[in-house]
Chains A and B, each alone.
Chain A
Amino acid sequence: SQQGEEDPQALSIQEGENATMNCSYKTSINNLQWYRQNSGRGLVHLILIRSNEREKHSGRLRVTLDTSKKSSSLLITASRAADTASYFCATDRSGGSNYKLTFGKGTLLTVNP
Chain B
Amino acid sequence: DVKVTQSSRYLVKRTGEKVFLECVQDMDHENMFWYRQDPGLGLRLIYFSYDVKMKEKGDIPEGYSVSREKKERFSLILESASTNQTSMYLCASSTWTSGIGGDTQYFGPGTRLTVL
Instruction: Evaluate whether A98 and B101 lie within 8 angstroms (CB atoms) in the complex, with A42-B4, A42-B90, A103-B42 already known.
Output: yes
B42 and A106: CB pair below 8 A? yes
Q: Which residues of A lie under 8 Å from residue B94 when comparing CB positions?
A: 99
A2 to chain B, nearest CB (A): 7
Contact with A along B65-95 (1 / 0, CB 8 A): 0000000000000000000000010101010
B102 and A31: CB pair below 8 A? yes
Q: Does B41 contact A (CB under 8 A)?
A: yes
Q: Does A13 contact B (CB under 8 A)?
A: no
Bound together, the chains give a CA A33 to CA B106 distance in angstroms of 12
A92 and B41: CB pair below 8 A? no
B105 and A48: CB pair below 8 A? no
B114 to chain A, nearest CB (A): 14
8 Å CB contact of A105 from B35, B42, B92:
B42
Contact with B along A60-102 (1 / 0, CB 8 A): 0000000000000000000000000000101010000011111
Q: How many A-B residue pairs have CB under 8 A?
A: 68
A50 to chain B, nearest CB (A): 7
Q: Which residues of B lie under 8 Å from residue A100 when comparing CB positions?
A: 33, 45, 48, 58
A105 and B109: CB pair below 8 A? no
A90 to chain B, nearest CB (A): 8
A48 and B90: CB pair below 8 A? no
B100 and A30: CB pair below 8 A? yes
A8 to chain B, nearest CB (A): 14
A92 and B43: CB pair below 8 A? no
Contact with B along A26-37 (1 / 0, CB 8 A): 000011010100
B58 to chain A, nearest CB (A): 8
Bound together, the chains give a CA A42 to CA B92 distance in angstroms of 9
Give me 13 A-to-B residue pairs in the complex whose CB atoms sit less than 8 angstroms apart, sorted by A's number.
A2-B42, A30-B100, A33-B104, A41-B110, A42-B90, A42-B107, A42-B109, A43-B107, A50-B100, A90-B105, A92-B101, A99-B48, A103-B43
* Shortest 8 CB-CB contacts between residues of A and residues of B: A98-B101, A42-B107, A105-B42, A31-B102, A30-B101, A103-B43, A43-B107, A45-B104
